[in-house]
Amino acid sequence: MKVYIKNKFWSWGGGSSVVNEKKEPVFQVKGRVFSITKVKYVCDMEGKRLFKVRNKWFNFFVHKAYIYDENKKKIATVKDKWFNLNGEYFVLGYKDEIKIEGKFFGLSSKILRNGQVIGSIKRQFTIINDAFELDADEADMPFLIALVIALDNIVDKKYKS
């Protein structure tokens, strides 16, 4: 299944649209209006919160974001490395070993679970806002959307603040 995640050009909280290949909305990403840690929620189309994503408050050399489940339990920490020349990101604390290989803001990245490719992220070129194509199994999609949002938050914090 392919979905397209596009940050909204104008959104009070920094939300994103998530549509399928037919341009039909499949998930919602809602942001908080006043949030230093860039809190965002991945919701289904009925508005039920599936995941919460937020940045670490202070980042010195290693940048982090956290993913929480619908019960407000932290299920993953997404982080880069101190010298991140290869553009790798790691997901810690999750039930499986997840790694993102390839430059996230390059042309494409691979998502690996326990060493096996489970998805790909391709950056869509737009002038105004960030947009991504995520290709993965439908069962993994909500978590992987939260992962893309976490990566985007990290990169925004690292390079735009």
Q: Quick one: pLDDT at residue 161?
A: 54
Q: Quick one: pLDDT at residue 38?
A: 79
Candidates 150, 148, 130; CA nearest to 63 is 150
CATH (domain of 65): 2.40.160
The pLDDT tens digits of the residues spanning 44-88 come to 999 999 999 998 766 666 788 999 999 999 999 998 876 656 667
Confidence bin at 37 (pLDDT 50/70/90) = low
Amino acid identity of 10?
W
Q: Where are the beta strands (DSSP E) in 21-137?
A: 25-31, 40-43, 49-55, 64-69, 74-79, 89-92, 98-101, 108-113, 116-124, 131-136
Q: Quick one: pLDDT at residue 105?
A: 60
Q: Quick one: pLDDT at residue 55?
A: 87
Q: Give the chain's mean pLDDT.
A: 85
Query: Quick check: 25 pLDDT over 80?
Result: yes
Residues 6+ apart with CB under 8 A from 15: 7, 8, 28, 29, 30, 31, 40
* Percent of the chain at pLDDT exceeding 70: 79
Report the SS3 class of residue 41: strand
The pLDDT tens digits of the residues spanning 121-141 come to 998 877 667 889 999 999 999
Query: What's the total number of domains in the chain?
Result: 1
For range 93-106, the mean pLDDT: 82
Q: Where are the alpha helices (DSSP H) in the chain?
A: 141-160
Candidates 73, 11, 15; CA nearest to 47 is 15
Report the SS3 class of residue 11: coil
What is the C-alpha radius of gyration for the chain, rounded to an integer number of angstroms?
14
- Sign (positive or negative) of CA dihedral 38, 44, 47, 51: negative
Range of the domain at 28: 2-160
Nearest-angstrom CA–CA distance, 81 and 59: 12
